[in-house]
Amino acid sequence: MLRDTLTRMHRKAWISGCSGTALTPDERVFFADERPWGFILFGRNVESVGQLTALCASLQEFGDGQELPIFIDQEGGRVRRLKPPLAHPLPAGQALGRVYDKDRQAGIAAARAHGRLLAADLRRYGINADCIPCLDVAFDGAHSVIGDRALSADPDAVAALGRAMAEGALSLGVLPVMKHLPGHGRVQVDSHYDLPHVHADRAVLEAVDMRPFKALSDLPAAMTAHILYEAIDRARPATLSPTVIADTIRGTIGFDGLLMTDDISMKALRAPIAESAGQAIEAGCDIVLHCNGDMAEMRAVAGAVPVLAGQAARRAAHAMALIGQPSATPVDVAEVWSEYQGLVEAVA
């Protein structure tokens, strides 16, 4: 099956957003020509059950009979593109850490249920990949861009909860994407608007920030951080750094899965977008993520990335093989929701 997928997936190494609640005629022509590996949805793309289901179906038309990955950032708390009543009202990751602090087994059960509920909500519409778990460790005094999204200040707790959440999503056939390698928690500025610098030495980064990622290095997909780690590469942020990707992400962390960039249009990357996209691929990222749906930017990114080949194609095929492959045991979503509420509300 993996070899089959590899031979059929002559697609470009990027994930694209789209502009609204339905594809425009220009987008249809563009996506047919440029063949992105997958798509990502945001709040601007969500209006109703029927509309979102139809949009996902229209995106799948570009798969030539093969299911394409459709991503979303649906963590819970303030990072959720689907809001009630379109999805369960799940809290931010910090709530799971509080359960874990009180009872480790209960925390792991809650995190697994969290992943299952996220996946059940997404599969309802045809969304099959979620940018979870957020494995960034919480730090006092850091910028709130991570904040309550962090599962814990304890990297081992982050790893345990993150694995349970990822397993929960995979059990319903939704691909998890752990983020943000090699660690976003201690930044002082928001990478959506500026380039954060991390000054911690490498030994500290390995012992704390990278620890959850190393523990979960067997997961199928991950996202880079647009952060400059001065102890590793003083000139380039992780997304654009061959040193960070080869020595730290592939080496120290040991991750050999599909590596995608964070949104290439974020202001932390100051070069023209085509240049950033090309540099990310050259640095060792497998896939470039572009989110804002701006056609001029999409054309620039599509023109800067190659067709998937070699190791990148192998990793992409492995990730795709997990999509839509739920466990054999059916999941009673109402039962999972009831269990989840009992676990989380007990420490609220």
Q: What is the set of active-site residues?
A: 192, 262
SS (H, E, C) the chain: CHHHHHHHCCCEEEEECCCCCCCCHHHHHHHHHHCEEEEEECHHHCCCHHHHHHHHHHHHHHHCCCCCCEEECEEECCEECCCCCCCCCCCCCHHHHHHHHHCHHHHHHHHHHHHHHHHHHHHCCCCCEECCCECCCCCCCCCCCCHHHCCCCCHHHHHHHHHHHHHHHHCCCCEECEEEECCCCCCCCCCCCCCCEECCCHHHHHHHHCHHHHHCCCCCEEEECCCEECCCCCCCCHHHCHHHHHHHHHHHCCCCCEEEEEECCCCCCCCCHHHHHHHHHHHCCCEEEECCCCHHHHHHHHHHCCECCHHHHHHHHHHHHHCCCCCCCCCCHHHHHHHHHHHHHCCC
